[in-house]
Amino acid sequence: MNIILLGPPGAGKGTQARKLVDERAMVQLSTGDMLREARSSGTEMGRIVAEVMDKGHLVTDEIVIGLIREKLTTGMAKGGYIFDGFPRTLAQADALGVLLADLGQPLDHVIEMRVDDAALVARITGRSTCAGCGEVYHDVTRPVPADGKCANCGGTTFTRRADDNEDSLKTRLLAYYKQTSPLIGFYYAKGMLEGVDGLAEIDDVAASIAAILD
Ligand code: AMP
């Protein structure tokens, strides 16, 4: 089963994708994670994308489609893929359709995570991530355990993303509405769009997603 999690920054796509990875034999393909990996590895591509990401703009279609193509053509995951943060433009959606068709793979569900903008600012500005395993925490709603150790892997280093600030978020939201939200109509017209309330508790969102997948 291959699915897309669609929604603005801070909607909880990464958190839900990680739960699906833990609970089903699915593989998370997050273009944001791939780009952060590229920038920290100091490659030429990493240098090019770093500035774009920090400002909150979208990286070119060519780069992200290339990253996804590379992952998909090196062997399919048994339990299927969760596309997290991809596609973000109509060109990316078209490219994904072609890539999956070439591999004889279906796109089973497109799940829109619905949230309101006011909640996103609070979510994004309090967010931190375990450097060891990527577990996501939040200063108010899910603080790092009192012993300072990640509940998932025991790691003690937590990082905040350079683009998780109010200025970048404004640009990221604008990019979402201008470039990504047309995908809602695109997949709706194909009869593939399903929605969940992204403002519900993490486990309740997960249950809504499970109800769609099963
Ligand atoms: P994310 O972790 O999904 O919030 O992505 C972080 C940043 O990486 C975005 O603000 C963009 O600059 C870049 N990015 C991630 N995925 C894409 C994509 N599919 N297309 C273009 N830029 C992307």
Q: What spacing in Å lies between the alpha carbon of 85 and ligand 1's midpoint?
A: 6
Residue 162 is predicted with a pLDDT of 87
Residue nearest to atom 11 of ligand 1 (CA): 58
Q: How far apart are CA 137 and CA 128, in angstroms?
A: 5
Amino acid at residue number 198: G
Which of 97, 92, 83 is closest to 16 using CA atoms?
A: 83
Residue 78 is predicted with a pLDDT of 78
Q: Is 85 close to ligand 1, i.e. is its CB under 6 Å away?
A: yes
Q: Is 32 close to ligand 1, i.e. is its CB under 6 Å away?
A: yes
Q: Is the pTM of this model over 0.95?
A: no
Question: Please, what is the end-to-end C-alpha distance for the chain in angstroms?
Answer: 11
- Output DSSP code: residue 142: B
How many other C-beta atoms lie within 10 A of the C-beta of residue 102? Answer: 11
Residue 122 is predicted with a pLDDT of 87
The model's confidence at residue 33, banded by pLDDT at 50, 70 and 90, is very high
Tens digits of residue pLDDT in 5-26? 999 999 999 999 999 999 998 9
Q: Which amino acids are annotated catalytic?
A: 13, 88, 127, 161, 172
Q: What is the mean pLDDT of residues 58-71?
A: 96
